[in-house]
Amino acid sequence: MNAVEAGHQRRPELSGADTEARAELDLLRYAKLALAEGREAENRGEHDEAIARFAVAAEQGVGDSVLLLAGALTRAKRFEEALEWCELAADEGFDEASDLAARCRAALGLPAPVAELPPAPPAPAPPTCEPAQLPGRSAGLTASADLGLTRRLKALACTAPLHELDYHKAKLDWVDATVYQMAEVAMHTIDQVTIAMDFDTGAAHDAVQERVTPFISAQAPGRSVEEHRRVARWVLEKLINVGTVDRVFHHVYGEIGADGDYRRLTFDFKLVREVAGNRGEIYLRTTDEAINVLVGALDTDVESAQVAAEVKLENLIIRGQLADARVAAEQARYRTVQYGEMLRHKLDATRRDIRVVDWEQELPEMLDKALTHIEDRFKVEHAILRHITQARDESDDPDHKRRAAELVTIVADCIRRHTQLQNRIQSARSVFREEQDRQRFSGSPQRAALDLHGQLLKPVLALPIVDAVAPLEQFFRAASGAQSPDAPALPSLVSMLLRPNVDRDRTAGPVVVPELDEAQDDRRFTDVHKAQADALLDLPGQVRTLGSLLQEAADFDDELPALVALRAANAYNPAISTAVLKGKSRMLVAVPANRLIESPDGATGDDLLLTTAEVVVPAEEQNTVHEESA
């Protein structure tokens, strides 16, 4: 207890006077002990004991003991002592102390210090509003001292959807999801989508599910494949945030603004989004937020992160830490993809409307930067590739070898992506010139009209939603013309409403058997004609002229000669292979007779010699025919 008394005897301005009494180290240790004891005492509610302990610690300035002491004194209503300690604490840089001091002064009825006031002299002036400013100022200082707070909060928010998957999996009624690590599946899904993302397309839903399913089945090998697929789909849908109207994850966070007020803001983000491909198909793409979550380098500049990732990789390879190197290489690849995305956006925008992209300053700078970037990356990555290839070849450890081989693949992929990016950049300027010709240099202005994009669409988009409603409603009303309103006729409406309900039969009624008329026989040649023609043209072992056949046919009736002539013409250059395929044994063959036809009913043309020939199939061909027919 003597230590406590000593604490009471000492005044703050005397602190440090008796350091010579003990070795400084001992003193410090003792003070720390006192601080811990003081906290315990305060927790137990023994305020006097706590104050005594804090006083010892505060003498040595250990931790926040000065502040704790001041707080404890205030609670014990020993305001004057508290005020002294508060000022000491404020001098040491504890911002909260000024708040406490203001409370003490208010309790004592003292005015706020104007400048460097000595603590003692009480002034008769009534308390002004100045103490109220102090907390505000200190809050501002706290906020400005912690600039990264917002960024870190946002980064934290991006991981929330992944954690929620595991919280909510117990609620799934179609599966006992305890075996599945949903957050891991989600990470894996994001990985797969990111890797499949290219300049033009994204990943198809099915492909992603297919690629994630093996990972899921590794988690629960006993379950059915159907269930694994369903888990994959569920995780993917949760990442897209299906089920909400705008599919955005909202996260509310607080920030202290420039004026010192705490305000709550909403951070909106998506992880995986669906985009339309060229032919209307739907692809998945990961957002920047998701890539950042995945890479772990949260909220960083694209380019510097890339440089950092690659420097890290090189270091790791030199030190032979290939496992880490692989992670770094993958990060580098994700960064590359992200960088390409940025460029793609700009180029697409140029193609659509040249005015929305700043081609005077921003884009040329960006292209130059991107080209320099690619040049650097080519050097770095080729160097890395050389190193790893060497590492792969020299290493005896099969595990190292395998990992190095994987790295080689990844870095080669990075280089491929850079090449792709470079092609785009090289064609960018010609895209600009073409689009400029197309969009700008066509015709001269005719009469004044509004620039719909610049003067309407853009200002409207910049408005808050409540304000934007009115102009848009005006535009909609005026641009969509007039509609003819439906005018129901009252008599018909009434009669329709009053019409009694028809009792419906449960069956559809009797089946009506349709009466069918005989199909009219309007063929030119009847079956009798065909039989007659067949008989006439069956000429085994004999040769007859078409003319004589026609004469014979003319005896039957007027139509038969036409059929016979058609058959004969058809037999000229007959389709032998077809006959072979159909398995016919005989066929009609016609050859020209080198004279004109002599026909009674005025048929003209060359006469033909007709005969019926046997179809003979050679043995080997016969086999093939049989095989074919079989």
Calpha distance 608→549 (Å, rounded): 10
Q: Which two tokens stand for residue 574?
A: 């007959």
Beta-carbon contacts of residue 46 (< 8 Å; ≥ 6 apart): none
Query: At closest approach, how far in Å is the CB of 141 from other proteins?
Result: 18
Residue (of 217, 216, 411, 440) closest to 333 by Cα position? 411
Query: At closest approach, how far in Å is the CB of 435 from other proteins?
Result: 12
Query: At closest approach, how far in Å is the CB of 528 from other proteins?
Result: 54
Residue with smaller CB distance to other proteins, 1 or 448: 448
Residue with smaller CB distance to other proteins, 451 or 621: 451
Query: At closest approach, how far in Å is the CB of 139 from other proteins?
Result: 18
Dihedral over Cα of 44, 46, 52, 55: its sign: positive
Residue (of 88, 138, 86) closest to 108 by Cα position? 86
Residue with smaller CB distance to other proteins, 105 or 154: 154
Dihedral over Cα of 361, 365, 368, 374: its sign: negative
Q: Which two tokens stand for residue 446?
A: 């005719």
Q: Name the β-bridge partners of 264.
A: 254
Query: At closest approach, how far in Å is the CB of 341 from other proteins?
Result: 12
Residue with smaller CB distance to other proteins, 460 or 613: 460
Calpha distance 149→143 (Å, rounded): 8
Query: At closest approach, how far in Å is the CB of 474 from other proteins?
Result: 4
Residue (of 54, 55, 82) closest to 70 by Cα position? 82
Query: At closest approach, how far in Å is the CB of 344 from other proteins?
Result: 12
Residue with smaller CB distance to other proteins, 174 or 476: 476
Residue with smaller CB distance to other proteins, 311 or 342: 342
Q: Which two tokens stand for residue 428?
A: 């960018």
Please provide residue 175's backbone torsions phi and psi, each rounded to the nearest 5 degrees: -155, 150
Residue with smaller CB distance to other proteins, 193 or 565: 193
Residue with smaller CB distance to other proteins, 446 or 604: 446
Residue with smaller CB distance to other proteins, 458 or 626: 458
Burial 1-32 (b: 16+ CB within 10 A, else e): eeebeebeebeeeeeeeeeeeeeeeebeebbb
Residue with smaller CB distance to other proteins, 82 or 363: 363
Query: At closest approach, how far in Å is the CB of 135 from other proteins?
Result: 21
Residue with smaller CB distance to other proteins, 147 or 512: 147
Strands of the 606-614 sheet, one edge to the other: 544-545, 606-614, 586-596
Give the number of other Cβ atoms within 10 Å of residue 375's Cβ. 12
Residue with smaller CB distance to other proteins, 109 or 254: 254
Calpha distance 414→406 (Å, rounded): 13
Query: At closest approach, how far in Å is the CB of 212 from other proteins?
Result: 16
Query: At closest approach, how far in Å is the CB of 243 from other proteins?
Result: 11
Query: At closest approach, how far in Å is the CB of 286 from other proteins?
Result: 14
Query: At closest approach, how far in Å is the CB of 364 from other proteins?
Result: 17
Query: At closest approach, how far in Å is the CB of 133 from other proteins?
Result: 24
Residue with smaller CB distance to other proteins, 311 or 469: 469
Residue with smaller CB distance to other proteins, 427 or 474: 474
Three-state SS at 241: coil
Residue with smaller CB distance to other proteins, 318 or 457: 457
Query: At closest approach, how far in Å is the CB of 183 from other proteins?
Result: 23
Residue 601, burial from CB neighbour count under 10 angstroms (0-12, 13-18, 19+): exposed
Beta-strand (E) ranges in 259-315?
Answer: 262-269, 272-276, 282-286
What's the longest Cα–Cα distance across the chain? 154
| Range 362-369, long-range pairs (CB < 8 A, 24+ positions) | 363/428, 363/432, 367/425, 367/428, 367/429, 369/303
Query: At closest approach, how far in Å is the CB of 173 from other proteins?
Result: 19
Which amino acid is present at 211? R
Q: Name the β-bridge partners of 540.
A: 612
Q: Which two tokens stand for residue 283?
A: 């692809």
Contact 192, 203 (CB under 8 A): yes
| Range 604-609, long-range pairs (CB < 8 A, 24+ positions) | 607/545, 607/546, 607/547, 608/545, 608/546, 608/568, 608/569, 608/571, 608/572, 609/543, 609/544, 609/545, 609/546
Please provide residue 236's backbone torsions phi and psi, each rounded to the nearest 5 degrees: -60, -45
Give the number of other Cβ atoms within 10 Å of residue 595's Cβ. 10
